[in-house]
Amino acid sequence: MEKLSNMENTYHNGYHRWTMTTQIERGLALLEHLASHPEGAALSDIAAAIAMPLSATHRLLSELVKSGYVRQLRDQGDYGLTIKLVALGLSYLGTSGVVDVAQPSLDRLALESAELVRLAIIDGEDLVFVAKAQGATRGLRYDPDMGLSVRLSCSAAGHAWLSTFDDDEALRLVARQGFGSPSAYGPKAPTTVKALLAFVHAARKRGYATISEVFAPAMSAMAAPVVVRGVAIGVVTIAGPTVRLDEVRMKRLSGALIETARELAGLSTASSLFRRKESARGAAQR
């Protein structure tokens, strides 16, 4: 009987841990889904996106509403994120010091390039844009969303980061995330290993990545990794319309881009966030 009781306790404890883990994963998936739908999303759409029954999804949404992370946009209507989640992210970045450290360097590069300059940091096995400076003062201004995970296969930032690994590790990171589709990105987005490696090898040889109509139609970008003691801790990018940021101009700006990446590498010890990324990547590669 005592043995049976121990087995039952083990089962129930294991089941409790499993259900808690599943609930956390579903909750995070729900928040990520709402983050990509700023106009809000219907209960049925959310349930389908996170693979949960309607009743369970409604209970999860109710808990997030109580905690202040989600609100119902109108009575019996769609659900959307509140500003609380954004405030948490901004507070985290502010405390880490990464924006304060990087902003002057980004501002200088934006002034010189007259285009959008951004900094992405490595978060586990993802790249996330955390700071920017807009250098375009007239004409078309390119300014996509911040704080979203970068698609590695079809972005200059992704190619620049992948170029710091050997091909096997680069392809593992891409396989985890999947290839971007030209229907969702640019018409020249690579959809095969061979096409992707051509971009990565070129970036590795030059020391920076370039793309044109890969991430988005009629848009170009270039990126250089921020490397400290052989470990990439971030990526700095320049992006703008292809009519302005063509191949010739990207080559002309390459020196300033690489110099900014080196400058940020030298400043990295001033930010606790940068230090954690360097430590984590170094440990992973040992």
CB atoms within 10 A of CB 91: 10
Give the residue from 229, 224, 210 showing the smallest Cα distance to 274: 229
Give the residue from 239, 56, 67, 54 showing the smallest Cα distance to 143: 239
Give the residue from 82, 88, 176, 168 showing the smallest Cα distance to 124: 176
Range of the domain at 16: 2-82
Query: Is residue 152 domain-shared with residue 209, that is, in the same domain?
Result: yes
Query: Is residue 58 domain-shared with residue 135, that is, in the same domain?
Result: no
pLDDT digits (tens, 9 = 90+) for 143-162: 555 556 789 999 999 999 99
Regions of the chain where pLDDT drops below 50? 1-4, 6-18, 20, 271-272, 276, 282-286
Q: What is the pLDDT of residue 138?
A: 63
Residue 214 burial (C-beta neighbours within 10 Å; 0-12, 13-18, 19+): buried
Instruction: Among 32, 49, 82, identify where a domain stops.
Output: 82
Q: What is the pLDDT of residue 181?
A: 81
Query: Is residue 115 domain-shared with residue 240, that is, in the same domain?
Result: yes
Instruction: Among 82, 109, 131, identify where a domain stops.
Output: 82
Beta strand residue intervals within the chain, DSSP E: 70-72, 79-81, 116-123, 126-134, 209-212, 219-228, 231-241
Query: Is residue 159 domain-shared with residue 240, that is, in the same domain?
Result: yes
pTM: 0.66
> Structurally, how many domains does the chain consist of?
2
Q: What is the CATH number of the domain that holds 38?
A: 1.10.10.10
Query: Is residue 187 domain-shared with residue 207, that is, in the same domain?
Result: yes
Query: Is residue 58 domain-shared with residue 129, that is, in the same domain?
Result: no
Query: Is residue 33 domain-shared with residue 153, that is, in the same domain?
Result: no
Query: Is residue 259 domain-shared with residue 227, that is, in the same domain?
Result: yes
Residue 87 lies in a domain: no
Query: Is residue 99 domain-shared with residue 78, that is, in the same domain?
Result: no
Q: Which residue in this structure is represented by tokens 């970036």?
A: 203
Judge whether 161 and 209 are in contact, CB under 8 Å: no
Query: Is residue 231 domain-shared with residue 147, that is, in the same domain?
Result: yes
Q: What is the pLDDT of residue 245?
A: 96
Residue 36 lies in a domain: yes
Q: What is the pLDDT of residue 85?
A: 74
